[in-house]
């Protein structure tokens, strides 16, 4: 039995997990959890990467003897190194306002296949004052891997979120990178590739974009599934063998991101549980009592993808204001606001699932909800009702499980294709099935268009 350490960093917390594949299943145990979040410095939002590095080292010590280490995190954010390999400044958070107002150039989608998000790495670089002093760019998980091993690289699944990869070739695009210094972007690595050693322990590249790792652990029995990786963001889509680069796909704001084993994660970003997290932060209260009351509350429908909801701040007031300005009933109580968030997310999930099928030509029979949102029973039931499809919820630890599985396969402790790896996850006892119930479902659609 070989144990591995999975470092899983999210926008609100991070953890180090010890995982093993044994007896035909994969098991994980959290050994260290720590807070994370952007901090205001000099008028901008930054991540405390040195602090995260210290927590990662503490977690690896607690993980004990392991056969390898793998790191995943959120996407698009990066650190810039100078010529001596030192970090010029802590990475700026993607929720910072420095890219507000940026518009995509014509022809980008046909090359990188990405849904327009103003915080994608290529747009952040347009607003980057440190670029003239930079020798190399490392995305967050690659930066932490570099600090562990002294070796640099760019893991492919996360690199595809930068907007600088040609999604057709899987390589850095000469056309999109021609104005960048030649040495800025490191060589690509793929999930399963070696990435150096830390204290004699191999570091292995995994699906370092956390959604790429989460999709590895979707417990699907066939390929006729949609997934919702539900956390701070809801990433809603299907798994494809090749990208969809049509004008209709671009107008629907769908993205083509690289997945493990050469797959394409064809998905739409939905604002996700960030809306709920910010409300709870403002209210300084627990979620469970509100969820119980929200079951019987009347909500309103708003567009969770409206950019007004992206920055930190008074989320309840913004939801109330949006409803008032758009002629919707204004939710007045906390349970009504919670129900409004969950109803609106469920409908946005439905829109993305339906659009993904229509645009890709791939039909699905089931929707898999993985990540923290799998524990939200009301959201899962509302999503099943809205989609008119069964929802299988779980595992909540999908990102860590996918990280572990890619490492285990690289070490020879697991074998086969993604289908084989997913068989190990299907034995998880936490999976729960929700069947759609008869109810009136709003036909209001959330915005997916960039036009």
- Residues annotated as part of the active site: 210
Q: Give the dihedral of Cα atoms 368, 36, 150, 192; nearest 10 deg.
A: -10
SS3 label, residue 268: strand
What does the DSSP 8-state code read for residue 307?
G
Instruction: Label residue 34 exposed, middle or buried (CB < 10 Å: 0-12, 13-18, 19+).
Output: middle
Question: What values do phi and psi take at 140, rounded to 5?
Answer: -50, -50
Radius of gyration, alpha carbons of the chain: 21
End-to-end CA distance of the chain: 53
Instruction: Label residue 68 exposed, middle or buried (CB < 10 Å: 0-12, 13-18, 19+).
Output: buried
Q: At what angle do helices 334-360 and 274-283 cross, to 10 degrees?
A: 170
CA 91, distance to chain mean position in Å, is 18
Helix H, strand E, coil C: the string for 106-147 is CCCHHHHCCCCCCCCHHHHHHCCCCHHHCCEEEEHHHHHHHH
In whole angstroms, give the CA distance from residue 221 to residue 274. 30
Instruction: Label residue 91 exposed, middle or buried (CB < 10 Å: 0-12, 13-18, 19+).
Output: buried
CB proximity list for 13: less than 8 A, separation 6 or greater: 33, 34, 35, 36
In whole angstroms, give the CA distance from residue 387 to residue 121. 32
What does the DSSP 8-state code read for residue 218?
-
* C-alpha separations of 216 from 273, 323, 414 in Å: 21, 38, 13
* C-alpha separations of 322 from 136, 327, 340 in Å: 42, 9, 12
């Amino acid at each position: 039995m070989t144990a591995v350490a999975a470092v899983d960093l999210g926008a609100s917390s991070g953890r180090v997990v010890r995982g093993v594949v044994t007896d035909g299943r994969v098991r994980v145990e959290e050994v260290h959890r720590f807070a994370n979040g952007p901090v205001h410095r000099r008028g901008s939002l930054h991540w405390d990467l040195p602090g995260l590095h210290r927590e990662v080292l503490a977690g690896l010590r607690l993980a004990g003897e392991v056969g390898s280490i793998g790191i995943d995190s959120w996407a698009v954010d990066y650190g810039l190194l100078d010529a001596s390999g030192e970090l010029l400044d802590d990475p700026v958070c993607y929720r910072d306002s420095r890219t507000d107002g940026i518009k995509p150039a014509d022809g980008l989608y046909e090359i990188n296949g990405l849904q327009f998000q103003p915080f994608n790495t290529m747009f952040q670089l347009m607003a980057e004052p440190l670029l003239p002093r930079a020798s190399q760019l490392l995305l967050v998980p690659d930066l932490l891997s570099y600090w562990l091993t002294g070796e640099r690289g760019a893991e492919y699944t996360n690199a595809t979120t930068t907007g600088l990869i040609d999604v057709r070739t899987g390589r850095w695009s000469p056309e999109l990178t021609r104005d960048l210094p030649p040495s800025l972007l490191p060589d690509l690595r793929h999930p399963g590739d070696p990435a150096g050693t830390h204290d004699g322990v191999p570091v292995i590249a995994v699906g370092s974009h956390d959604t790429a790792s989460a999709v590895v652990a979707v417990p699907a029995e066939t390929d006729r599934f949609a997934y919702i990786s539900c956390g701070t963001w809801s990433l809603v889509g299907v798994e494809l063998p090749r990208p969809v680069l049509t004008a209709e796909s671009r107008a629907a704001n769908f993205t083509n991101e690289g997945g493990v084993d050469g797959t394409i994660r064809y998905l739409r970003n939905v604002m996700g549980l960030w809306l709920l997290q910010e409300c709870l932060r403002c209210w300084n209260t627990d979620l469970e009592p509100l969820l119980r009351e929200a079951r019987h509350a009347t909500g309103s429908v708003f567009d969770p993808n409206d950019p007004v909801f992206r920055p930190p701040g008074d989320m309840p007031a913004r939801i109330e204001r949006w409803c008032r300005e758009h002629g919707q009933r204004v939710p007045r109580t906390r349970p009504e606001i919670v129900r409004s968030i969950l109803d609106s997310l469920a409908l946005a999930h439905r829109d993305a699932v339906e659009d993904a099928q229509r645009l890709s030509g791939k039909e699905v029979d089931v929707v898999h909800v993985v990540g923290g949102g799998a524990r939200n029973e009301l959201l899962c039931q509302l999503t099943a009702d809205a989609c008119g499809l069964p929802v299988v919820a779980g595992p909540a630890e999908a990102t860590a499980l996918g990280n572990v599985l890619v490492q285990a396969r690289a070490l020879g402790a697991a074998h086969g294709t993604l289908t084989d790896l997913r068989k190990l996850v299907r034995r998880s006892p936490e999976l729960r099935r929700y069947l759609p119930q008869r109810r009136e479902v709003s036909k209001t659609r959330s915005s997916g268009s960039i036009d």
